[in-house]
């Protein structure tokens, strides 16, 4: 660890390959490190703790807080480029770094759209991207007015700092909405309100853009959230009409260009049924970093989102996004309510025996209820039809069984490893 210019660090990078500094030592940095290894690069991480997922694996770690200007500067020193595994670095720190010549990608002026939902909504409204009706909330009166305009179907959000559904409220009455708004405003939380969208499913479009201006886009995926956390991603989104898919991809690329994004960006969307009965979309969220909805690309695409992010922030030519299978399903491994007695390693061993084709990605995190501790990717066989609901369901079932097994040490379908036969009731 030690100082930025110490000898051990120079010795560890004998090829003088690029050093990419990533702020945050979570699983996204950990998986980006895997791609950096393959490209002969070094990923330096600014981690809060030596046991953070990425700090465990990369040799180049700066320990410090993402909101400490000195720590962020130390991480950037001598690096070719600085980028992020989360969007919580205060903008002023980044503006100061940019002013001193550090290549920050995405730039503070782009990243703000992933940091502040109100800034993002306003920018998207300006360029005519499809979004739900929204309003800034500076007072309880603002909530009352918007609640009235939307016939009570509203969502309240903290404009900054939320993730995995934290900072999102779905009030059932005006009284509840007023209470939430006044509590949050009193605590200094910047708030906004938007229409509650009667979406039919959630989608995500991942794109990449380099400073040169090259863009790349992966297939649009369907995401399934449970308790505000992404549980499953299905790539490509089954049954998505071709015209809507290409419109969504074009919108995501246009947003990346308009907002001057560098690196990868996830555009989270709601699929809705329009007044003409045809499906359409509304943009929900932007994330300017690798994203849970892109984890499937580690095994299911020619270039993963992590490799692409490195290529993009370093202004390399971007990689092919062509899928390696007709369908890939990603299921998150979320900590069980009670940590199983069986070790994780033994669980992996059993999973390998039952599903040899399931690809496991663990983050080196301790187990806690609902915590993202890993994910499983399951690729479909070459002949599968990604628009056949039964065939998709069969692949999804394997991914979900695998993820549930890894978190609970229980086969949700009652599989008996000794007889190889499913027993008992399905509890899925």
* Contact residues for ligand ADP, defined by CB under 6 A: 132, 155, 157, 162-168, 194-197, 199, 202, 225, 228, 268, 284-285
Residue 343, token pair as written in the block: 């070790």
Are the CB atoms for 394 and 428 separated by under 8 Å?
no
Please give the full DSSP string across 60-126, using - where no structure is assigned.
-EEES-TT-HHHHHHHHTT-SEEEESSS-S-HHHHHHHHHTT--BSS-HHHHHHHHBHHHHHHHHHH
d(C-alpha 66, C-alpha 341), whole Å = 35
Q: Angle at Cα 198 formed by Cα 196 and Cα 204, nearest 5°?
A: 95
Residue 322, token pair as written in the block: 């062509």
Shortest separation between residue 121's beta carbon and ligand ADP, angstroms: 10
Shortest separation between residue 83's beta carbon and ligand ADP, angstroms: 20
Shortest separation between residue 185's beta carbon and ligand ADP, angstroms: 19
Are the CB atoms for 78 and 15 separated by under 8 Å?
no
Shortest separation between residue 100's beta carbon and ligand ADP, angstroms: 31
d(C-alpha 272, C-alpha 133), whole Å = 14
Q: Angle at Cα 124 formed by Cα 163 and Cα 265, nearest 5°?
A: 50
Instruction: Pick the closer one to ligand ADP by CB: 202 or 271.
Output: 202
- Residue nearest to ligand ADP according to CB distances in the complex: 197
Shortest separation between residue 259's beta carbon and ligand ADP, angstroms: 17
Instruction: Pick the closer one to ligand ADP by CB: 52 or 268.
Output: 268
Residue 390's contacts (CB-CB under 8 Å, 6 or more residues apart) are none
d(C-alpha 159, C-alpha 156), whole Å = 9
* HSE-CB of 112 using CA atoms within 13 angstroms: 15
Instruction: Pick the closer one to ligand ADP by CB: 270 or 363.
Output: 270
Instruction: Pick the closer one to ligand ADP by CB: 169 or 296.
Output: 169
Considering just the CA atoms, what is the radius of gyration of the chain in Å? 22
Instruction: Pick the closer one to ligand ADP by CB: 132 or 215.
Output: 132
User: Which residue numbers belong to the known binding site for ATP?
Assistant: 117, 157, 194-197, 202, 284-285
Shortest separation between residue 198's beta carbon and ligand ADP, angstroms: 8
Q: Comparing C-alpha atoms, which of 325, 297, 333, 332 is closest to residue 392?
A: 325
How far is C-alpha 142 from the chain's CA centre? 31
Shortest separation between residue 282's beta carbon and ligand ADP, angstroms: 8
d(C-alpha 5, C-alpha 78), whole Å = 8
Q: Comparing C-alpha atoms, which of 366, 375, 238 is closest to residue 296?
A: 375
Shortest separation between residue 333's beta carbon and ligand ADP, angstroms: 19
User: Which residue numbers belong to the known binding site?
Assistant: 117, 157, 194-197, 202, 284-285
Shortest separation between residue 134's beta carbon and ligand ADP, angstroms: 8
Instruction: Pick the closer one to ligand ADP by CB: 166 or 368.
Output: 166
Cα distances (Å, whole numbers) of residue 37 to 59, 101, 124: 11, 26, 37
Instruction: Pick the closer one to ligand ADP by CB: 55 or 288.
Output: 288
Instruction: Pick the closer one to ligand ADP by CB: 103 or 120.
Output: 120
Instruction: Pick the closer one to ligand ADP by CB: 162 or 340.
Output: 162
């Amino acid at each position: 660890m030690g100082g930025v210019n110490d000898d051990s660090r120079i010795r560890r990078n004998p090829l003088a390959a690029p050093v990419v500094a990533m702020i945050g030592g979570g699983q996204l940095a950990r998986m980006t490190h895997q791609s950096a290894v393959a490209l002969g690069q070094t990923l330096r991480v600014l981690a809060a703790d030596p046991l953070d997922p990425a700090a465990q694996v990369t040799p180049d770690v700066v320990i410090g807080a993402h909101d400490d200007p000195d720590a962020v500067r130390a991480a950037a020193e001598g690096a070719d480029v600085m980028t992020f595994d989360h969007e919580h670095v205060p903008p002023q720190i980044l503006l100061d770094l940019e002013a001193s010549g550090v290549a920050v990608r995405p730039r503070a002026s782009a990243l703000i759209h992933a940091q502040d939902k109100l800034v993002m909504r306003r920018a998207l409204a300006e360029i005519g991207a499809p979004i739900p009706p929204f309003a800034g909330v500076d007072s309880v009166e603002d909530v009352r007015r918007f609640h009235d305009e939307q016939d009570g179907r509203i969502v309240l959000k903290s404009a900054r700092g939320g993730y995995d559904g934290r900072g999102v409220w779905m009030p059932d009455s005006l009284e509840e909405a007023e209470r939430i708004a006044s509590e949050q405003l009193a605590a200094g939380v910047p708030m906004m309100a938007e229409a509650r969208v009667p979406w039919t499913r959630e989608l995500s479009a991942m794109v990449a853009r380099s400073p040169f201006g090259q863009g790349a886009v992966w297939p649009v995926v369907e995401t399934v959230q449970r308790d505000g956390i992404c549980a499953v991603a299905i790539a490509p989104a089954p049954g998505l009409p071709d015209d809507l898919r290409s419109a969504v991809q074009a919108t995501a690329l246009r947003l990346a260009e308009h907002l001057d994004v560098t690196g990868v960006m996830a555009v989270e969307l709601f699929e809705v049924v329009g007044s003409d009965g045809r499906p359409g979309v509304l943009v929900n969220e932007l994330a300017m970093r690798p994203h849970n909805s892109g984890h499937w690309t580690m095994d299911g695409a020619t270039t993963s989102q992590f490799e692409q992010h490195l290529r993009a922030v370093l202004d390399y030519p971007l990689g092919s996004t062509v899928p390696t299978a007709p369908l890939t399903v990603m299921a998150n491994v979320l900590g069980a309510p009670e940590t199983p007695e069986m070790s994780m390693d033994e669980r992996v061993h059993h999973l390998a025996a039952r599903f040899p084709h399931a690809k496991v990605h663990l983050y080196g995190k301790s187990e806690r209820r609902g915590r993202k501790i890993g994910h499983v990717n399951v690729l479909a066989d070459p002949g599968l039809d990604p628009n056949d609901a039964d065939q998709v369901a069969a692949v999804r079932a394997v991914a979900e069984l695998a993820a549930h097994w890894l978190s609970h040490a229980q086969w949700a379908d009652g599989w008996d490893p000794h007889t190889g036969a499913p027993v008992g009731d399905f509890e899925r």
